[in-house]
Amino acid sequence: MSTLTPKQAEIQSREARILELARPMVAQEGLAGLSMDAIAKEMAYAKGTIYNHFSCKEEILLALAIKANEKRLRLFEVAIERQPNARQKIAAIGVACEDFRVRFGDLFDIDCMVRHVAVWEKASDQRKQMMATCEQRCMAMVSQVGREALESGDLVLPRERGIEDVVFGLWSLTYGGMIIDATSPGLDQIGIRDTYAAIRRNCHALMDGYQWQPLYDAQADRKLVRNVRASLKRNVTLALDAQPIDESVTTPSKRPAGGSQ
């Protein structure tokens, strides 16, 4: 990224402060609890100054969702460090998804909120594009790990099957399972007492079905989970990252995957 001018640095710092103040408001009361007046008062600015940065509350929510995806990408990066093969990298990314849901629960919820049409349609094209870029970078990292498995011979797919199919299956199991966990009380009453362990087992079952080597080993997986969780806790802070992602790579502004109809 290019060096910021003093004015650009001031603008970026002010936006970061706005998001820092907005995050607990959204965590406590959702979009309805997000107050431009309260942010302006806390920062000792006129409300118009806040609107110069964000034209509406939905813009702030999308900016927080972009930060959430940056944080998730950072978790992925840390999780796969020093993993010896692609299968273990995928398993480690799954643990990073758990960590995002547990330690960064408010960011997970924000990421879900922006997928509603009522929020998405009020956001600017620029932020929609940035959101799409962030999300696609997360998925690109997972796909790249899958391609490593293909290149090494640890995974052999039928000619008509692409690695994207496998990645989408893992994403569906992980993200879908976490949404169910967040919105469906009483899972323990139907025998699901550890949602994350169940999600991990299902993902491993999917990979075992493709004969992705090495096959699932429960003891080795428990050790991997412990080690990755410890590494994430040491290396990824709860605070939002100050620097935005590199915007040099952009994508068409479409609704993010998983959006409401």
Residue 255 predicted with pLDDT over 50: no
Q: Are residues 77 and 191 in the same domain?
A: yes
225 occurs within a structural domain: yes
| Model confidence at 247: pLDDT above 60 | no
Q: Phi and psi for 7 in degrees, rounded to 5?
A: -65, -45
Cβ atoms of 69 and 128 within 8 Å: the answer is no
CATH number (domain holding residue 49): 1.10.10
pLDDT tens for residues 28-45? Answer: 999 999 999 999 999 999
Give the Cα separation of 29 and 245 in Å (integer). Answer: 28
**Count of C-beta atoms within a 10 Å radius of residue 175:** 18
pLDDT value at position 2?
Answer: 65
9, part of any domain: yes
Residue 221 has pLDDT above 80, yes or no: yes
Residue 246 has pLDDT above 80, yes or no: no
Would you state the pLDDT for residue 242? 58
Regarding whether 188 and 102 lie in a shared domain, the answer is: yes
Q: Are residues 48 and 78 in the same domain?
A: no
Residues 61-69: what's their mean pLDDT?
95
Provide the whole-model pTM. 0.87
pLDDT in tens, 113-168: 999 999 999 999 999 999 999 999 999 999 999 999 999 999 999 999 999 999 99
226 domain-assigned: yes
Residues 82 and 171 in one domain: yes
Quote the pLDDT of residue 47.
Answer: 93
Say what the pLDDT of residue 251 is: 33
- Taking residue 15's Cβ as centre, other Cβ atoms within 10 Å add up to 17
Counting the structural domains of the chain, the total is 2
Does 213 reside within a domain? yes
Bigger pLDDT: 253 vs 231: 231
- What range does the domain containing 3 cover? 1-54
Instruction: Give the integer Cα–Cα distance in Å for 97 and 101.
Output: 6
71-105 pLDDT, tens digit each: 999 999 999 999 999 999 999 999 999 999 999 99
Please compute the mean of the pLDDT values over residues 215-228 and round it to a whole number: 98
* Residues 103, 124: Cα–Cα separation, whole Å: 29
Confidence of residue 239 (pLDDT cuts 50, 70, 90): confident
The string of pLDDT tens digits covering residues 164-189 is 999 999 999 999 999 999 988 888 88
- Asked if residue 174 is part of any domain, the answer here is yes
Same domain, 117 and 189: yes
Task: Count CB neighbours of 190 within 10 A.
Answer: 8
Regarding whether 142 and 44 lie in a shared domain, the answer is no
